Amino acid sequence: MAITFKEEHSVGVKEIDDQHKQFIAILNELADAIDNNKTKETLAHIFDELGSYAEFHFATEEKYFDMFSYDGAEEHKAKHQELKEKIADLKSKMADNQVSLSFELIDFMEDWLIDHLANMDQKYVQCFKEHGLS
């Protein structure tokens, strides 16, 4: 259930690797909370944290895309946008009791994150390296 950060997911930039680790930690915290039957309020609180962290993390990557005129920026930003919208949508559905946090939802987020780390984030590694970011 819990996911761990693997070295193959490193983008060679400590600031960003640390953020990815924190992103994973919040997801694991959410899975744990469900596992331990925490209240809806607690789950909503951690989910909010996940949403804010996603925004903060995506903004960090996008700042460097702009700084380095990264040519994959547009495609990558669109992927970030998709997840931000998905989280916002889930958040409002949870508030309306149309949806509750489930392991399926966590699985979806975990799959999204691992796929994004392995496929999208790896694509900027070369560009960031060429600009001396480490």
The residue among 110 and 121 lying less far from Fe ion, judged by its C-beta, is 121
The residue among 44 and 73 lying less far from Fe ion, judged by its C-beta, is 73
- Cβ 28 to Fe ion, closest distance in Å? 17
The residue among 38 and 77 lying less far from Fe ion, judged by its C-beta, is 77
By the criterion CB under 5 A, which residues form the site for Fe ion?
61, 121
The residue among 61 and 110 lying less far from Fe ion, judged by its C-beta, is 61
- Cβ 76 to Fe ion, closest distance in Å? 6
- Cβ 60 to Fe ion, closest distance in Å? 8
Helix (H) or strand (E) holding 84: helix 73-95
Cβ-Cβ contacts under 8 Å for 65 (sequence gap 6 or more): 72, 73, 76, 77, 124
- Cβ 105 to Fe ion, closest distance in Å? 20
